[in-house]
């Protein structure tokens, strides 16, 4: 497996472009193939998700995606559905493809009518920019940003020659209950939509769903995976799954790192759980806890808050077996071992200070009850999170 | 039912006092009677809770409570248990009562050894101050404060002549997963410990548990209810339950209002749910959402975030039936009715601005699916929350 730097345009058969002249942005990705999608579990579902889920359900194929930022087209009733369908037909007409082959996605403010005229007025500019190059990729990634501070993209090439690449957008990472997460992932492998569906669900569970807390999904969350088959290669399914998980975890970590107002990435690594479900509960509780997040912002190794989060996570836990360490990937400092607090000598405290000052803080919790593991990602809670979210619509 | 202003000392047979000279504080309440308690559901349980639960389990009676602030005595192993038992014996010896009649509670930093010498050195000063007056009540309420900015107390007298009064402490209200909640409630009614236990659990579910999100309890949360029986009156059980709920809701709202860094109280009122459980899920999701909390801080009527929180709460919900309003108890502005967004004329916007500027913002959500209701309380998310929690131990 090796890294490619052209994002989704590393994948054979994919063209992309996008514009973001102001609050509104528009991205188009053109690539035909078998496809699968994962959608929000929120009971309030935005119009574009309803339209895209219908389209995917018909034939498990996509030829293109049209996505706008600046307006979520959520809670917009019949008018919203009509606007989402209109976005689809604007693109399907220009491409000369069936409307069931076009996916639509939106992200932005909820409850406001979509400015469909703006989409109509700008679609030709985006269409004329479509290109299979790193520029196409990065313009598309930028066009779907809202409060994101950098575009999110990644790509790899598997040993078998197949590429997997994608772009994503996120935000609102303190507890991402409404910072819409969009992911558009492509591969040039030849795979059926059923196989893609299984692989996507598994990989999403170990990546995006470990940033976006279970159930706390936005009205607009959507991840699409399309396989152009342009290489003609049907890869070994385990190799493909591993590659897909790598791509989605990379995008998920970029989303966590760019949480609103974030200054640091937090990775929770949980080992020794009775089940993977339990490991996930603990990992998520840690990266979700505002008290842990605030402590990391303050470079404060307040491990008591980590222990408390593990304790209320719902997972099986025995405090006499618990171990806990902080790491930055280079140094690791063990603070608790088998329920006992380890002594804090000077060298220990110096290392800990260096770790707490790192851009990526890894919190390692060992439960010593079983053999299941999980990772979750989040970011610190900062003054800027409050500023951004108290001024969003006004 | 009428309000009394002397807190728990409004209750016949209760003496209290406390001191808070620095970070550490010590409170003692003396009042013998049947008793019941509710304890944290966190799997990491602090030593004083283990000791108090044991004592209550033996005979369902208490003669006194000793509580310290500044150190939670949590995650402190065998030493912590020994220290908690030592606190009990320090008080039981002085009072000449069995150690099984003394409850112990702690709140503060986790994972540090309790300074038992400080307790021993200061207990006589507190003992000598014990008094059945408003001063005794307020000194005890102040002594258990940590990041609380005001002491929490309330009392009422029922029509039958029975008093119910209590003190409480809280904090960390963004998602109170570690801001320990302590409540010490007394009544001079004559009631058995079994009856007290049932009444307490029901009232806690509708008050403290609607501030402290399910499962997200600290390692030290504890509410004790003791009935001195000093009036000799056995009140009508429904009258007593109503009064107890009133007292606990009053304390719960004080805790929410004094959330760390809070500038406003948020009350979520949910009506028309299929079940009380569903109504609670929606109400809690709203007051828990950092995006809703940030919006309220910014006086931003961002109702889309309220809808999204309701949507991911896990409760049954049909967006076409949803109605939503903001209120400050005087003016109410309806924003959504039966899934339709209501027009925003000038008068409407002026009222909304006044509501968003109020110290108490009520968010009313109607589900129109059933007849169950619930209320939950929280506070806004502010720069000061981040400041307080990023600097806590350092």
In percent, the amount of chain A with pLDDT more than 70 equals 95
pLDDT digits (tens, 9 = 90+) for A351-363: 998 999 999 999 9
In this complex, the residue of A291, A309, A317 whose CB is nearest that of residue B389 is: A291
Across the interface, whether the CB atoms of A298 and B385 are under 8 A apart is answered no
| Number of domains within chain B | 2
**Which residues of chain B neighbour A215 with C-beta distances below 8 Å?**
312, 314
Would you call B9 helix, strand, or coil by DSSP? helix
Q: Quick one: pLDDT at residue B214?
A: 36
Cβ neighbour number for residue B13 with a 10 Å cutoff: 19
Choose, out of B73, B76, B311, the residue to mutate when testing the contact with A (most A CBs < 10 Å): B311
- Mean predicted confidence (pLDDT) in B87-116: 95
Kindly report the CATH number assigned to the domain that includes residue A385. 3.10.20.340
Of B226, B257, B288, which residue sits at a domain end?
A: B257
Q: How confident is the model at residue B70 (pLDDT cuts 50, 70, 90)?
A: very high
- Mean predicted confidence (pLDDT) in A288-303: 85
Would you call B79 helix, strand, or coil by DSSP? helix
The interaxial angle of helices A290-297 and B383-390, nearest 10 deg, is 70
**Which residues of chain A neighbour B44 with C-beta distances below 8 Å?**
307-308, 310-311, 317, 319
Residues B57 and B79 in one domain: yes
State the smallest CA–CA distance between residue A179 and chain B in angstroms.
9
**Which residues of chain B neighbour A385 with C-beta distances below 8 Å?**
290, 294, 386
Q: Quick one: pLDDT at residue A175?
A: 39
Choose, out of A112, A303, A386, the residue to mutate when testing the contact with B (most B CBs < 10 Å): A386
pLDDT digits (tens, 9 = 90+) for B308-330: 889 888 899 998 999 999 999 99
In percent, the amount of chain B with pLDDT more than 70 equals 95
Candidates A40, A52, A107, A180; catalytic one: A180
- Mean predicted confidence (pLDDT) in B281-298: 88
In this complex, the residue of A42, A381, A385 whose CB is nearest that of residue B311 is: A42
Residues A238 and A348 in one domain: no
Residues B73 and B209 in one domain: yes
Using CA coordinates, name the residue in chain B closest to A294.
Answer: B390
Residues A10 and A145 in one domain: yes
Between B144 and A109, residue with greater pLDDT: B144
Closest to B225 (Cα-Cα) out of B94, B380, B52: B52
pLDDT digits (tens, 9 = 90+) for A3-56: 998 889 899 999 999 999 999 999 999 999 999 999 988 888 999 999 999 999
Residues A234 and A291 in one domain: no
Instruction: Tell me which of A206-220, A230-244, B220-234, B246-260 is least confident.
Output: A206-220
For the sheet containing B323-327, what is the strand order?
A: B340-341, B332-337, B323-327, B360-366, B265-273, B372-379
Q: How confident is the model at residue A384 (pLDDT cuts 50, 70, 90)?
A: confident
For residue B180, say whether it is annotated as part of any ligand binding site: yes
Residues A307 and A275 in one domain: yes
Residues A81 and A101 in one domain: yes
Across the interface, whether the CB atoms of A302 and B74 are under 8 A apart is answered no
Residues B278 and B239 in one domain: no
Question: A–B: how many Cβ contacts below 8 A?
Answer: 198
Q: Return binding residues of A for substrate.
A: 146, 169, 180, 260, 389, 394
Q: Quick one: pLDDT at residue A30?
A: 98
Q: For residue A96, is pLDDT > 50?
A: yes
Q: How confident is the model at residue A393 (pLDDT cuts 50, 70, 90)?
A: low
Q: Quick one: pLDDT at residue B212?
A: 53
Q: Quick one: pLDDT at residue A171?
A: 63
For residue B40, say whether it is annotated as part of any ligand binding site: no
Q: Quick one: pLDDT at residue A294?
A: 83
Q: For residue B113, is pLDDT > 60?
A: yes
Q: How confident is the model at residue B173 (pLDDT cuts 50, 70, 90)?
A: very low
Residues B105 and B220 in one domain: yes
Q: Quick one: pLDDT at residue A107?
A: 92
ipTM over 0.85: no
Choose, out of A176, A273, A304, the residue to mutate when testing the contact with B (most B CBs < 10 Å): A304
Across the interface, whether the CB atoms of B389 and A311 are under 8 A apart is answered no
- Mean predicted confidence (pLDDT) in B120-142: 96
Residues A37 and A130 in one domain: yes
**Which residues of chain A neighbour B49 with C-beta distances below 8 Å?**
none
State the smallest CA–CA distance between residue B82 and chain A in angstroms.
16
- Mean predicted confidence (pLDDT) in A104-109: 92
- Mean predicted confidence (pLDDT) in A81-95: 98
Choose, out of A42, A282, A290, the residue to mutate when testing the contact with B (most B CBs < 10 Å): A290
Across the interface, whether the CB atoms of B311 and A386 are under 8 A apart is answered no
Q: Return binding residues of A.
A: 146, 169, 180, 260, 389, 394
Kindly report the CATH number assigned to the domain that includes residue B213. 3.60.70.12
Of A257, A275, A303, which residue sits at a domain end?
A: A257
pLDDT digits (tens, 9 = 90+) for B260-285: 788 899 999 999 999 999 999 999 99
pLDDT digits (tens, 9 = 90+) for B373-393: 999 998 888 888 778 777 755
Q: For residue B114, is pLDDT > 90?
A: yes
Residues A278 and A168 in one domain: no
Q: Quick one: pLDDT at residue B171?
A: 63
Q: Quick one: pLDDT at residue B392?
A: 55
- Mean predicted confidence (pLDDT) in A66-88: 95
State the smallest CA–CA distance between residue A169 and chain B in angstroms.
18
Q: Quick one: pLDDT at residue B257?
A: 87
Q: Quick one: pLDDT at residue B303?
A: 86
Q: Quick one: pLDDT at residue B393?
A: 54
Across the interface, whether the CB atoms of B298 and A385 are under 8 A apart is answered no
Domain that holds residue B284: 265-390
Using CA coordinates, name the residue in chain A closest to B286.
Answer: A177
**Which residues of chain B neighbour A320 with C-beta distances below 8 Å?**
77
Q: Is B21 exposed, middle or buried (0-12, 13-18, 19+ CB in 10 A)?
A: exposed
Which residues of B are tagged catalytic?
180
- Mean predicted confidence (pLDDT) in A90-118: 95
Indicate the helix (H) or strand (E) that contains B135: helix B134-143
Q: Quick one: pLDDT at residue B293?
A: 85
Distances from the Cα of B353 to the Cα of A310, A339, B236, B330, B356, angstroms: 41, 52, 45, 13, 5
For residue B260, say whether it is annotated as part of any ligand binding site: yes
Q: How confident is the model at residue A118 (pLDDT cuts 50, 70, 90)?
A: very high
To the nearest whole number, what is the mean pLDDT of chain B?
A: 91
Of B257, B287, B319, which residue sits at a domain end?
A: B257
Q: Which residues contact A209 (CB under 8 A, 6 or more apart)?
A: none
**Which residues of chain B neighbour A110 with C-beta distances below 8 Å?**
304-305, 307-308
Across the interface, whether the CB atoms of A294 and B389 are under 8 A apart is answered yes
Using CA coordinates, name the residue in chain B closest to A291.
Answer: B389
Q: For residue A174, is pLDDT > 50?
A: no
Across the interface, whether the CB atoms of A44 and B317 are under 8 A apart is answered yes
For residue B228, say whether it is annotated as part of any ligand binding site: no
Residues A29 and A170 in one domain: yes
Question: Hey, CA dihedral for A306, A308, A314, A318, is it positive or negative?
Answer: positive
Q: How confident is the model at residue A202 (pLDDT cuts 50, 70, 90)?
A: very high
Across the interface, whether the CB atoms of A382 and B387 are under 8 A apart is answered no
For residue B299, say whether it is annotated as part of any ligand binding site: no
Across the interface, whether the CB atoms of B44 and A302 are under 8 A apart is answered no
Report for A153-162, A204-213, B165-174, B298-307: range of highest mean pLDDT: A153-162
Using CA coordinates, name the residue in chain A closest to B74.
Answer: A304
Q: Quick one: pLDDT at residue B210?
A: 87
Q: Quick one: pLDDT at residue A212?
A: 53
Q: Quick one: pLDDT at residue B172?
A: 53
């Amino acid at each position: 497996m090796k890294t490619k730097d052209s994002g989704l345009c590393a994948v054979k058969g994919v063209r992309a472009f996008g514009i973001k002249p102001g609050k509104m942005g528009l991205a188009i990705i053109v690539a035909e193939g078998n496809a699968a999608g994962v959608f929000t579990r929120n009971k309030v579902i935005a119009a574009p998700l309803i339209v895209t889920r219908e389209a995917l359900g018909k034939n498990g194929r996509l030829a293109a995606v049209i996505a706008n930022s600046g307006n979520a087209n959520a809670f917009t009733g019949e008018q919203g559905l009509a606007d989402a369908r209109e976005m689809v037909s604007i693109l399907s007409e220009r491409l000369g493809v069936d409307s069931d082959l076009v996916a639509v996605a939106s992200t932005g403010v909820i409850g406001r009518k979509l400015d469909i005229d703006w989409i109509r007025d700008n679609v030709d500019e985006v269409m004329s920019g479509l290109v299979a190059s790193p520029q196409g990729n990065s313009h598309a990634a930028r066009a779907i940003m809202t409060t994101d501070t950098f575009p999110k993209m990644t790509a790899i090439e598997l040993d078998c020659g197949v590429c997997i690449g994608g772009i994503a957008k996120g935000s609102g990472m303190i507890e991402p209950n409404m910072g819409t997460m969009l992911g558009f992932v492509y591969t040039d492998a030849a795979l059926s939509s059923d196989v893609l569906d299984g692989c996507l669900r598994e990989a999403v569970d170990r990546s995006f769903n470990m940033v976006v807390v279970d159930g706390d999904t936005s009205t607009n969350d959507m991840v699409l995976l399309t396989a152009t088959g342009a290489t003609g290669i049907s890869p070994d399914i385990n190799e493909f799954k591993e590659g897909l998980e790598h791509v989605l975890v990379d995008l998920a970590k970029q989303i966590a790192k760019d949480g609103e107002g974030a200054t640091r990435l937090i990775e929770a690594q949980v080992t020794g759980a009775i089940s993977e479900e339990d490991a996930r509960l603990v990992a998520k509780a840690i990266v979700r806890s505002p008290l842990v997040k605030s402590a990391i912002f303050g470079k404060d190794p307040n491990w008591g808050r980590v222990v408390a989060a593990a304790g209320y996570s719902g997972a099986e836990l025995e405090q006499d077996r618990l171990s806990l360490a902080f790491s930055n990937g280079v140094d690791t400092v063990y603070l608790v071992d088998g329920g006992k607090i380890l002594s804090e000598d000077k060298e220990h405290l110096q290392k800990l200070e260096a770790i707490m000052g790192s851009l990526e803080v890894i919190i390692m919790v060992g439960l010593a009850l079983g053999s299941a593991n999980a990772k979750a990602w989040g970011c610190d809670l900062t003054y800027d999170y409050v500023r951004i979210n108290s001024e969003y619509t006004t």
